[in-house]
A and B are shown apart, each in its own frame.
Chain A
Amino acid sequence: MDFFLEIVVAVLLVVGSLMSLIAGIGLITFPDLLSRMHAATKPQVLGFLLLFAGLAIHLRSWILVPVLVLAWGLQLLTAPVSAHMIGRAGYRTKHVAKETLHVDELKKVISKHSEATGNTGAVRKIEGSKADENEKP
Chain B
Amino acid sequence: MIETAVWIGGVMLALASIACLWRVFKGPSILDRVLALDVILLIISSALCLDMAINRHTDYLLFVVVACTLGFIGSVTVSRFVSDQRNA
Contact = CB atoms under 8 A, between A and B. Distances in A.
B12 A18 contact: yes
A69 B55 CA distance: 21
A110 interface: no
Contacts of B31: 33, 86, 89-90, 93, 95
Q: State the majority secondary structure of interface residues on A.
A: helix
| A: contact size bracket | 35 or more
A129 B87 contact: yes
A91 to B, nearest CB: 9
B4 A85 contact: no
Contacts of A122: 87
Nearest to A63: B58
Given A9-B2, A36-B35, A81-B76, A64 B12 contact: no
Interface in A32-63: 33, 36-37, 40, 43-44, 47-48, 51-52, 54-55, 58-59
A46 to B, nearest CB: 12
B84 interface: yes
A92 B9 contact: no
A67 to B, nearest CB: 5
B72 A21 contact: no
Nearest to A59: B56
Contact of B79 (A9, A36, A88): A88
A113 interface: no
B12 A21 contact: yes
A103 interface: no
Given A9-B2, A74-B65, A17 B39 contact: no
A37 B82 CA distance: 17
A16 B87 contact: no
Given A6-B1, A85-B76, A13 B36 contact: no
B22 A28 contact: yes
A44 B5 contact: no
Nearest to B81: A89
Contacts of A37: 35
